[in-house]
Structure 1
Amino acid sequence: MNLVNIGGVPEHFNLAWYLGLKNGDFKAENINLRWHDYFGGTGEMCKGLRNGDIDMAVILTEGIVKDIIAGNPSKIVQVFVKSPLNWGIHVANHSKFKTIDDIKGTRAAISRYGSGSHLMSYVNAENNNWDLEKDLKFEVIKNLEGAVEGLTEDKADYFMWEKFTTKPLVDNGTFRRIGNLPSPWPCFVIAVREEFLKTNLEDVKTILNIVNTTTEEFKDIPSIDRMIANRYEQEIEDVQEWLSLTEWSQKNITKETITKVQNELFALNIIPEKWDYENLVFEL
């Protein structure tokens, strides 16, 4: 049985992988797929791919594009979630800040440099016509738990994370959400180490076929809203709203989307140059 290590955030977007593992779908194809939760998000997964700790990752589009250009020997093989990610912009409940304008020039909590929370801070700054050099400051907090500590103890001032994942923390009064920012492109892609692709191409294709079969039918799974609510400790009405907004994909990322992501990252000085599509994407 072939061992394949895959990483992703422990959030509702990735339930399809858990269901495939629970049902034995990968083992039935002689693949021992091992799922690894990455609480630190995209930056931590990029490190995992670089180090060979994982072979595949379900990862934020902008984060993996940046890291491949920065030397990560991986390729995008498919879009996983084609709808935007709804980033909530949060402050501590006791914070004096009430609006997006109030947090201009203050400290953004980020999981790590190169993470989605880091990169989307730039997008938010650009959208609000901030000075990217003067108005952005960062405090590394590693993960959501670190963000709770950072904001409540005034080590940082605001934090951007997926809206529905942080909703329980808004509901219980830990955070206040002062704004939302949808990502301007499909949010999650599947990336694979190039070395692994060369030697395990058929396994990668099989894995994608299995998860794609699940995502195609995901919204039709009986009581899927209750399953998500129970597993991820969400209110069922929040899950139902999330399901209505979320669309999975079974296709690879387009040249137009790659161009859009790179144009944005280049304009924000996040990447030093723009690469050809073929150097970022592997077409199965």
Structure 2
Amino acid sequence: MKQLNIAGVPEHFNLPWHTAIENGDFVKAGIDLKWTDVPEGTGKLCQMLRNGETDIAVILTEGIVKDIIAGNPSKIVQIYVQSPLIWGIHVAAKSPFQTVGDLENKITAISRYGSGSHLMAFVNAQNEGWDTANLRFEIVNTLDGAIRSLTEGTSDYFMWERFMTKPIVDKGIFRRVGDCPTPWPSFVIAVRNDVLVHDREIIEKMLEVINATTLNFKQIQGIENILAKRYGQKVDDISEWLKLTRWSQTKPDKITFDKIQDQLLNLSIINNTIPFESLTP
């Protein structure tokens, strides 16, 4: 039995991993897969890959592409979620801001530098025609940190996955003033290079298991209720989210990832591009 450590955010996108672990599907394939929830998100996951704290990360596309270019010794082995991630743009419920346009030159709460909440602020700024040089950030680490920061006024707005943040909006803590979808597939699976060198066949078996799970995930009996209960969501919201979400079972392709690099370069999120072969095994 080969032990592998995997990490990802504690969000509904990753329930297929938990389902397969709990059903013993990885064990049947000879893999003892240990999952770690990382509420801090992509920046922390990149750090864990670099430090060898995890072998594998289910991670936002833009964050890991940026970090591999910056020297993260990992490769993207598969697209995990093909559909865009819809980032809600949130303000404190009692704040004076009513539209996305009101947030120009205001302070953005981010989980950490290099995180999705950081990088998507640049995407949103470009969409709005703002000068990205004027973006200002407050590190809040987690969703709870963002709640404190917006409520206390140390930051002005926070971008996070729309559906995971919906309960906070429903409670009257946040108000959503807009959405910003990613212009690329939302999640990928990244593996440390040394793991790929020594355990490539095991990684391929792991991918076979998760792909079999995601392929039929939406057809699981009562999946809306399971997701709603596990992640504190309303069933109607989960049903809408499931309609929008498309898991992937495909390897990265050169056209898509060259385009992603060009988009990140245009946003000044990266300073240079690298060959597709440096991003993937």
**TM range, normalised to the smaller chain?**
over 0.9
Aligned partners of 1:228 and 1:84: how far apart in 2?
19
Aligned counterpart, 1:172 = 171
**Residue 163 (structure 1) shift:** 0.3
Q: Confirm whether residue 156 of structure 1 aligns to residue 155 of structure 2.
A: yes
Aligned counterpart, 1:48 = 48
Aligned counterpart, 2:6 = 6
Aligned counterpart, 2:62 = 62
Aligned partners of 2:98 and 2:259: how far apart in 1?
32
Aligned counterpart, 1:188 = 187
Aligned partners of 1:177 and 1:38: how far apart in 2?
24
Report the 3-state secondary structure (helix = DSSP H, G, I; strand = E; otherwise coil) of the residue aligned with 2:25. Answer: coil
Aligned partners of 2:180 and 2:165: how far apart in 1?
14
Aligned partners of 2:26 and 2:266: how far apart in 1?
41
For the aligned residue pairs, the C-alpha RMSD in angstroms reads: 0.6
Aligned counterpart, 1:78 = 78
Aligned counterpart, 1:121 = 121
Which amino acid counterpart does residue 60 of structure 1 have in structure 2?
L
Aligned partners of 2:98 and 2:184: how far apart in 1?
28
- The alignment of Structure 1 onto Structure 2 pairs a total of residues equal to 281
Aligned partners of 1:95 and 1:264: how far apart in 2?
32
Q: Confirm whether residue 266 of structure 1 aligns to residue 265 of structure 2.
A: yes
Structure 2 alignment gaps of length 5 or more? none
Aligned counterpart, 1:209 = 208
Could you state the TM-score of these two structures normalised by the residue count of structure 2? 0.99
Q: Confirm whether residue 279 of structure 1 aligns to residue 281 of structure 2.
A: no
Which amino acid counterpart does residue 7 of structure 1 have in structure 2?
A
Which amino acid counterpart does residue 76 of structure 2 have in structure 1?
I
**Residue 44 (structure 1) shift:** 0.4
Aligned counterpart, 1:27 = 27
**Residue 253 (structure 1) shift:** 1.8
Structure 1 segments of 4+ aligned residues over 6 angstroms from their partners: none
Aligned partners of 2:143 and 2:255: how far apart in 1?
32
Q: Confirm whether residue 220 of structure 1 aligns to residue 215 of structure 2.
A: no
Give runs of aligned pairs for residues 135-154 of structure 1, distance below 5 A.
Answer: 136-154=135-153
Aligned counterpart, 1:16 = 16
**Residue 208 (structure 1) shift:** 0.5
Aligned partners of 1:148 and 1:177: how far apart in 2?
13
**Residue 261 (structure 1) shift:** 1.2
What's the CA shift string for 1:63-106, capped at 9, x where partnerless? 00000000100000000000000000000001100111100000
Which amino acid counterpart does residue 54 of structure 1 have in structure 2?
T
Aligned counterpart, 1:102 = 102
Which amino acid counterpart does residue 218 of structure 2 have in structure 1?
K
Aligned counterpart, 2:240 = 241
Identity of aligned residues (%): 54
Which amino acid counterpart does residue 89 of structure 1 have in structure 2?
I
Aligned partners of 2:246 and 2:270: how far apart in 1?
28
Aligned partners of 2:184 and 2:147: how far apart in 1?
28
Could you state the TM-score of these two structures normalised by the residue count of structure 1? 0.98
Report the 3-state secondary structure (helix = DSSP H, G, I; strand = E; otherwise coil) of the residue aligned with 1:53. Answer: coil
**Residue 161 (structure 1) shift:** 0.3
Report the 3-state secondary structure (helix = DSSP H, G, I; strand = E; otherwise coil) of the residue aligned with 1:263. Answer: helix
Aligned partners of 1:23 and 1:220: how far apart in 2?
16
**Residue 257 (structure 1) shift:** 1.5
